[in-house]
C-alpha cells in the first residue's frame, strides 16, 4: 500500500492507499460520514460507510474535529459529482494529532480576526488557491527569464544609500554607521548587467508606506530584470511578453485554484493577447482632464486616475514618458524633450493599478552626475554607480514587477494582504 498525496489520486483509482490529512470539514448521518480532507496538495472527500467499516472506525469518523490530523487508509474512486473528480472510500482512520475548538469555523469571520489568525487562515481553500497562484507566478518567472538567457543575481538587502524615494526608507544600524533596507535592487542590478548582460533578481524589498491602501505592503517581493544594450521600446516588449507568459501559465497550471477563486478565465485569456496598448503621460492627463479629474500636467497619478485610464482598454496598458520631476534620478530624459523621461508604468485592468514600473537608465556620466546632485543625494555613496558610466557605458533598461500586485490581480483577490503568507502592513507585524 502506497502513501500518496491527494493531488496524485488520479493515478491510484481502484487502489488501496494511505494519506496523511487534516479534517477541513465533516458531515455525517447515522449511516455515512463525509470527511472533507486536505493534505496541503488539494482537498477531497473521504467517504465512511457504516456498513463497510468497524463500529470503532465509524465512531472515530463521526467524532473527528475540524483540523484533527489523521492517517486515512482506503480505496481511491472516481467521483463525477465533485469538481476534483476523485474521492476515497475510507477503511481505517488513525488519529495523529487532536484539534479542539479550532477558531476559524466555516462561518463568516471579520478581517481583523482572520489577520490575527493568519497562521491558521492559510489553511483555508481560498488562501490555498492564492498561494498556488503565487507559486506558479514565481515558477513561471524563473522559467521565462532562464529561457530568455537571463542570469539570476541577488542584490544586497542592507544598503548604504537609497535607490528611490527617501521618505519610505527603513533605517537600521550597521555597527557604527547607518544602513537602509533595500527598496529596490536596481542600482546593483545595473552593475550586474554590465557584467552578465541580462540579469534579474527576485527578492524582498521594504518600503515604509505610511498610507493604507489595498495595493501597498511594507515588505513585498519584486522581480527586477535589467538588460544591457537595450532601449526602452525593446524593454516594453519583454514586459508584455513576460506578463502574458505569467497569465498563460497560471491558466494552464492553476485551473482548480482559479475555480476556487471564481476567477473569470476568459478575461485572463484576453490579457494574454499582445501587444498591450500604450498611451503617453501627456495624453493621459488630457483624457483625465476631459473627464473632470482634478489633475494638472506634472502630477503623479493615484489609484483613481490609474483605474480610469485602465478602464479605457480591455488589457493592461502602458503609460509612457512621465515628467522627469516625479521619477527617480537615474531615468534617461526623452531625446526630443527634457521634461519627460523614457519610462513606462504598466497598469493592470480591473482597478489593480501599477504592476510594473520601468525605464531606460541615464548612461551618460556627466548627465547622471548632474542628476544625483540635483536630487540632493550624497555623491560619495554613488561613486561606484557613476563609475559604471566611465568604463564602456551602454544603453540599458530594466523594470520591476511587484509579485504580490501580480498575484492579487491574476487571482482576482480584493486586497494585497492575502497575496503574501505573512503580510506586513502599516499597523500589523503579527503574526
Ligand atoms: P505605487 O505607485 O503603486 O506606489 P511605485 O511606483 O512606488 O508603486 P516602483 O518603485 O515603480 O513602485 O516599484 C515597482 C513595482 O513594485 C510597482 O510597479 C509595484 O508593482 C510594486 N510595488 C511598489 N510598491 C509596493 C508596495 N508597497 N507593495 C507592494 N508592491 C509594491
Ligand atoms: Mg509607491
Ligand atoms: Mg507609481
Ligand atoms: Mg513605479
pLDDT tens by residue, 43-95: 999 999 999 999 999 999 999 999 999 999 999 999 988 888 999 999 999 99
Please tell me whether residues 375 and 295 are part of one structural domain: yes
Burial annotation 362-388 (CB, 10 A radius, 16+ → b, else e): bbeeeebeebbeeeeeeeeebeebeeb
Q: Are residues 321 and 353 in the same domain?
A: yes
324 and 380, same domain (yes or no): yes
Whether residue 344 has its Cβ less than 6 Å from ligand 1: no
Which residue owns the Cα nearest ligand 1 atom 31? 402
Question: Would residue 108 count as lying in a domain?
Answer: no
> Ligand 1, closest atom to CA 353?
3
Q: What is the DSSP letter of 275?
A: P
Residue 21's pLDDT is 98
Residue 211 confidence (pLDDT): 85
At residue 227 the predicted structure's pLDDT band, cuts being 50, 70 and 90, is very high
Provide the pLDDT for residue 164.
Answer: 59
pLDDT digits (tens, 9 = 90+) for 299-311: 999 999 999 999 9
Instruction: Classify residue 24: in a domain, yes or no.
Output: yes
140 and 90: one domain?
A: no
> Which residue minimizes the CA distance to atom 9 of ligand 1?
357
- 151 and 44, same structural domain? no
Give the number of C-alpha atoms closer than 13 A to the C-alpha of residue 201, restricted to the C-beta side: 27
Q: Which three cell numbers stand for residue 355?
A: 504592476
First to last CA, the chain: 39
Q: What is the mean pLDDT of residues 122-141?
A: 98
Number of structural domains the chain divides into: 2
Residues 25 and 156 in one domain: no
State whether the beta carbon of 67 lies less than 6 angstroms from ligand 1: no
The atom number, within ligand 1, closest to the CA of 207 reads: 27
Res 161: pLDDT: 73
Residues 26 and 145 in one domain: no
> Measured from the CB, is residue 207 less than 6 Å from ligand 1?
yes
CB 305 within 8 A of CB 326: no
Nearest to 132 by CA among 234, 304, 276, 261: 261
pLDDT band at 140; cut points 50, 70, 90: very high
> Pick from 42, 65, 97: which residue ends a domain?
97
CA atoms within a 13 Å half-sphere pointing along the CA-CB vector of 76: 23
327 in contact with ligand 1, CB cutoff 6 A: no
- Grid cell, residue 167, equals 521618505
DSSP state of 183: S
Please check whether residue 363 lies inside any domain of the structure: yes
Contacts of 44 (CB under 8 A, 6+ apart): 6, 9, 36, 37, 82, 84, 86, 87, 88
pLDDT, averaged across the chain: 96
Q: Averaged over 155-173, what is the pLDDT?
A: 83
Query: Do 201 and 292 reside in the same domain of the chain?
Result: yes
Three cell numbers written together for 233:
521600446
Determine what percent of the chain is predicted with pLDDT higher than 90.
94
* Domain end (from 97, 126, 161): 97
Spatial distance between the Cα atoms of 330 and 397, rounded to a whole number of angstroms: 11
| Chain position carrying cell 524615494 | 165
428 lies in a domain? no
pLDDT in tens, 178-219: 899 999 999 999 999 999 999 999 999 999 999 889 999 999
Give the pLDDT band (50/70/90) at residue 381. confident
Same domain, 201 and 260: yes
Q: Which residues lie across from 374 on neighbouring strands?
A: none
357 C-beta closer than 6 A to ligand 1: yes
Here the CATH number for the domain that contains residue 159 is 3.30.930.10
Q: Please compute the mean of the pLDDT values over residues 313-320 and round it to a whole number.
A: 98
Give pLDDT tens digits for 242-299: 999 999 999 999 999 999 999 999 999 999 999 999 999 999 999 999 999 999 999 9
272 and 203 in one domain? yes
Does 102 reside within a domain? no
258 in the same domain as 127? yes
As a whole number of angstroms, the distance between CA 319 and CA 81 comes to 47
User: Collapsing DSSP states into helix, strand and coil, what is residue 337?
Assistant: strand
Q: What is the pLDDT of residue 160?
A: 84
* CATH label of the domain that carries residue 52: 2.40.50.140
CA-closest candidate to residue 428, choices 203, 37, 117: 117
pLDDT score, position 165: 57
Query: ipTM score of the complex?
Result: 0.99
Whether pTM exceeds 0.90: yes
Which residue has its alpha carbon closest to ligand 1 atom 8? 354
* 181 SS3 class: strand
333 domain residue, yes or no = yes
Q: Is 355 left (phi over 0), alpha (psi -120 to 50) or beta?
A: alpha
Give residue 167's pLDDT.
81
Say whether pLDDT at 163 is over 80: no
In a domain, 103, yes or no: no
DSSP string, 161-174: S-SS-GGGPPEEEE
> How far apart (Å, rounded) are the C-alpha atoms in residues 30 and 48?
11
CA 193 to chain centre: 24
> Do 335 and 411 fall within a single domain?
yes
Contacts of residue 158, Cβ cutoff 8 Å, sequence gap at least 6? 172, 174, 179, 180, 181, 182
Domain that holds residue 69: 2-97
pLDDT band with cut points at 50, 70 and 90 for residue 371:
very high
pLDDT for residue 180? 93
What's the rounded Cα separation, in Å, for the pair 286 and 288?
A: 5
Domain presence at residue 430:
no
pLDDT at position 102 is 97
Amino acid at each position: 500500500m502506497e502513501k500518496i498525496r491527494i493531488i496524485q489520486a488520479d493515478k491510484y483509482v481502484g487502489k488501496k492507499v494511505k494519506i496523511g490529512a487534516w479534517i477541513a470539514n465533516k458531515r455525517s448521518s447515522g449511516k455515512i460520514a463525509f470527511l472533507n480532507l486536505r493534505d496541503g496538495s488539494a482537498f477531497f472527500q473521504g467517504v465512511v460507510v457504516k456498513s463497510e467499516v468497524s463500529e470503532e472506525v465509524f465512531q472515530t469518523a463521526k467524532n473527528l474535529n475540524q483540523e484533527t490530523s489523521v492517517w486515512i487508509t482506503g480505496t481511491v474512486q472516481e467521483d463525477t459529482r465533485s469538481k476534483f473528480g476523485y474521492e476515497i472510500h475510507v477503511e481505517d482512520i488513525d488519529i495523529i494529532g487532536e484539534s479542539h475548538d479550532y477558531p476559524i469555523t466555516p462561518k463568516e469571520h471579520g478581517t481583523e480576526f482572520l489577520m490575527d489568525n493568519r497562521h491558521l487562515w492559510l489553511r483555508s481553500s481560498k488562501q490555498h488557491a492564492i498561494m498556488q497562484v503565487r507559486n506558479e507566478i514565481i515558477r513561471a518567472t524563473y522559467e521565462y527569464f532562464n529561457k530568455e538567457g537571463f542570469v539570476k543575481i541577488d542584490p544586497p538587502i542592507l544598503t548604504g544609500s537609497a535607490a528611490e524615494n527617501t521618505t519610505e526608507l527603513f533605517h537600521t544600524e550597521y555597527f557604527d554607521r547607518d544602513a537602509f533596507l533595500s527598496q529596490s535592487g536596481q542600482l546593483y542590478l545595473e552593475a550586474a548587467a554590465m557584467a552578465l548582460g541580462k540579469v534579474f533578481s527576485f527578492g524582498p524589498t521594504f518600503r515604509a508606506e505610511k498610507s493604507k491602501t489595498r495595493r501597498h505592503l511594507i515588505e513585498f517581493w519584486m522581480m527586477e530584470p535589467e538588460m544591457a544594450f537595450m532601449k526602452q521600446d525593446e524593454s516594453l516588449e519583454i514586459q508584455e511578453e513576460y506578463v502574458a507568459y505569467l497569465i498563460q501559465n497560471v491558466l494552464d497550471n492553476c485551473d482548480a485554484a482559479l475555480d476556487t477563486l471564481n476567477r473569470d478565465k476568459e478575461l485572463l485569456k484576453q490579457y494574454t493577447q499582445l501587444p498591450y496598448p500604450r498611451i503617453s503621460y501627456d495624453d493621459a492627463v488630457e483624457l483625465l482632464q476631459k473627464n473632470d479629474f482634478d489633475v494638472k500636467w506634472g502630477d503623479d497619478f493615484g489609484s483613481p486616475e490609474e483605474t480610469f485610464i485602465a478602464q479605457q482598454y480591455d488589457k493592461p496598458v502602458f503609460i509612457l514618458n512621465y515628467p522627469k520631476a516625479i521619477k527617480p534620478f537615474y531615468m534617461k530624459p526623452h531625446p526630443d524633450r527634457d521634461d519627460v523621461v523614457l519610462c513606462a508604468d504598466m497598469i493592470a485592468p480591473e482597478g489593480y493599478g501599477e504592476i510594473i514600473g520601468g525605464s531606460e537608465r541615464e548612461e551618460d556620466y556627466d548627465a547622471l552626475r548632474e542628476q544625483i546632485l540635483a536630487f540632493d543625494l550624497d555623491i560619495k555613496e554613488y561613486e561606484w554607480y557613476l563609475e559604471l558610466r566611465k568604463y564602456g557605458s551602454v544603453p540599458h533598461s530594466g523594470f520591476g514587477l511587484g509579485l504580490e500586485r501580480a498575484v492579487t490581480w491574476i487571482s482576482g483577490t480584493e486586497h494585497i494582504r492575502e497575496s503574501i503568507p505573512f503580510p506586513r502592513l502599516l499597523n500589523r507585524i503579527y503574526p
